């Protein structure tokens, strides 16, 4: 062997890639040191052996190997392939060795382990998809927040006027019509409330939570779809279920994922479609079980359900992230989630959450509204950019014996406050020229005492800025659309000089 040949051999042997020379009949003619290390054999044992036997312990040539193609085309061919036995990704390149006549007589096969690169690429792709999903969720939250505000404003007028009409002495047939208007508007209030919960989910705040109530709300969100798909829903919700501390929006997201999966699983089933939700206390945990009567989950995939991007659905109906995200949320809440299934007899998802001992102070019982004598004759200023809300509040407060001025301009309102003395200001927080928070700062210059007389009336308590403002100042706030007695209760509290906490009240009466 001359020096050049010896050097070339050393170069080939120093490569990490496995390099083989394969003859037309698939026999191995030569192999470098990396190849021998991988095969764990001596050179003499390998030479002459068929490549598919030596490398893959197979009796036939491998379908995917670029060797066969190269022998036909006389071109260099490359494929990437995952080897299930070795659990690695390989890049296989075949280069023809041509005879003097130009025929492919043998082939150089180089095999490179590209597992690390492929895994990194897959990880990057996953991160990109997660980022896109997060962006989409944030966008949905923003749309929902904007929508609740837009819907709440007109709804406030409908609710307030229909409630006022119902209390009036009007003909029976008109009363019936007004009741229908009020009931319809109240249903929309429920829908908007649930949207509001969803819009708040970008903030990971946790609060004492009644799981039964969250389940009720979530089922209500899907009630139309379930009814139209013939799904019978049964709930066994434990009374006196202990509370936990949780992020309501996130738990709702988990329940929605599981319920929608169950709906989809049952869609194709010819059996009766049944969804059963049970809550119970099991030892020191709260357990929620959600069962469906769908086809169940095959044993071979049940362990992969919570993996990211695991889906058996097509691209349009599933991304394989729902259960993965749900798992993350439940784990973050100190709980556990698992799936059980007997194929053919449905699937059950079980969520265990910790009971969180009651440490907060119990809210004092609200005084009964009816027996309180209403203070009358107060001078009240209403500042709201929606003229029909001004009109509704004017009517309502005037009817309750107060003297009311309204304006849709915060600047005009500041003028009015410096010209006359008011006992109470009903203030909208979201207005175009000057928002309620800025207005509140301005009235301090007129008289700091005026700040004690403010009640906020807003459809936008989901914004973090408004929530922080209400929390810091302790101003009472009535969420639009409000019920007549809730509004009057807050008005009475301020007029009587009672100290209110910063709670936003949603109750509609």
Cβ at position 118, least distance to ligand ADP in Å: 23
User: Is 79 strand, coil or helix?
Assistant: strand
Query: Rounded distance, CA 298 to CA 412, Å?
Result: 68
CA dihedral 56, 60, 65, 66 (to 10 degrees): 140
Q: Would you say 460 and 429 are in contact if contact means Cβ atoms under 8 Å apart? A: yes
Our CB check for ligand ADP shows the closer of 125 and 444 to be 125
Cβ at position 267, least distance to ligand ADP in Å: 11
Taking each helix axis from N to C terminus, what angle separates 248-267 and 322-332, rounded to the nearest 10 degrees? 150
Our CB check for ligand ADP shows the closer of 141 and 294 to be 294
- Contact residues: ligand ADP, CB under 6 A: 257, 261-262, 265, 292, 294, 297, 305, 310-313, 318-324, 347
User: What is the 8-class DSSP label of residue 85?
Assistant: T
Our CB check for ligand ADP shows the closer of 111 and 323 to be 323
Separation of CA 51 from chain center: 51
- Parallel, antiparallel or unpaired: strands 454-458 and 88-98: unpaired
Our CB check for ligand ADP shows the closer of 309 and 506 to be 309
Q: Would you say 440 and 425 are in contact if contact means Cβ atoms under 8 Å apart? A: no
Cβ at position 71, least distance to ligand ADP in Å: 42
Give me the helices (H) in 113-247, please. Answer: 115-167, 172-199, 211-228
Query: Rounded distance, CA 343 to CA 265, Å?
Result: 12
Our CB check for ligand ADP shows the closer of 92 and 321 to be 321
User: Is 310 strand, coil or helix?
Assistant: coil
Our CB check for ligand ADP shows the closer of 30 and 311 to be 311
Give me the helices (H) in 375-463, please. Answer: 387-399, 410-419, 436-446
Our CB check for ligand ADP shows the closer of 162 and 261 to be 261
Cβ at position 302, least distance to ligand ADP in Å: 9
């Amino acid at each position: 062997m001359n020096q050049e040949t010896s050097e070339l051999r050393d170069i080939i042997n120093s490569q990490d890639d496995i390099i083989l020379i394969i003859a037309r009949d698939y026999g191995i003619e030569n192999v470098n040191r990396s190849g021998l290390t991988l095969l764990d054999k001596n050179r003499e044992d390998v030479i002459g052996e068929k490549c598919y036997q030596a490398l893959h312990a197979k009796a036939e040539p491998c379908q995917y190997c670029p060797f066969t193609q190269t022998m036909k085309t006389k071109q260099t061919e490359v494929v990437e392939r995952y080897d299930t036995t070795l659990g690695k990704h390989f890049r296989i390149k075949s280069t023809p060795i041509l005879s003097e006549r130009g025929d492919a007589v043998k082939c150089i096969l180089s095999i490179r382990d590209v597992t690390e690169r492929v895994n990194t690429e897959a990880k990057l792709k996953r991160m990109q998809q997660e980022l896109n999903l997060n962006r989409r969720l944030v966008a949905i939250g923003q749309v929902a927040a904007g929508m609740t505000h837009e819907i709440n404003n007109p709804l406030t007028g409908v609710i307030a006027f229909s409630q006022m009409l119902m209390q009036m002495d009007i003909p029976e047939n008109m009363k019936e019509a007004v009741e229908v208007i009020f009931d319809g508007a109240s249903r929309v209030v429920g829908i908007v409330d649930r949207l509001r919960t969803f819009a708040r989910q970008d903030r990971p705040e946790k609060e004492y939570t009644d799981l039964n109530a969250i389940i009720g709300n979530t089922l209500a969100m899907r009630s139309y779809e379930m009814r139209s798909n013939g799904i019978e829903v049964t709930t066994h919700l434990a009374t006196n279920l202990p509370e936990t501390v949780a992020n309501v929006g996130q738990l709702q997201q988990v329940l929605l994922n599981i319920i929608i999966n169950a709906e989809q699983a049952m869609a194709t089933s010819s059996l009766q479609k049944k969804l059963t939700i049970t809550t119970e206390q099991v030892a020191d945990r709260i357990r929620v079980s959600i069962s469906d009567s769908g086809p169940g989950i095959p044993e071979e995939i049940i362990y992969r359900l919570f993996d990211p991007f695991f889906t058996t659905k097509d691209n349009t109906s599933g991304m394989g992230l729902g259960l993965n995200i749900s798992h993350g949320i439940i784990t973050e809440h100190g709980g556990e989630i698992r799936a059980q299934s007997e194929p053919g007899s449905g699937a059950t998802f079980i969520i265990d959450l910790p009971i969180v001992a009651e440490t907060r102070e119990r809210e004092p019982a609200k005084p009964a509204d009816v027996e309180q004598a209403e203070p009358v004759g107060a001078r009240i200023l209403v500042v709201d950019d929606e003229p029909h809300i001004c009109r509704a509040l004017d009517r309502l407060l005037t009817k309750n014996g107060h003297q009311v001025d309204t304006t849709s301009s915060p600047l005009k309102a500041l003028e009015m406050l410096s010209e006359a003395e008011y006992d109470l200001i009903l203030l909208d927080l979201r207005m175009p020229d000057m928002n309620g928070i800025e207005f509140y700062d301005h009235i301090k210059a007129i008289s700091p005492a005026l700040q004690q007389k403010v009640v906020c009336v807003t459809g936008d308590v989901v914004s973090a800025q408004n929530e922080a403002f209400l929390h810091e100042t302790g101003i009472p706030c009535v969420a639009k659309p409000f019920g007549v007695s809730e509004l009057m209760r807050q008005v009475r509290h301020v007029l009587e000089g009672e100290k209110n906490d910063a709670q936003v009240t949603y109750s509609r009466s």
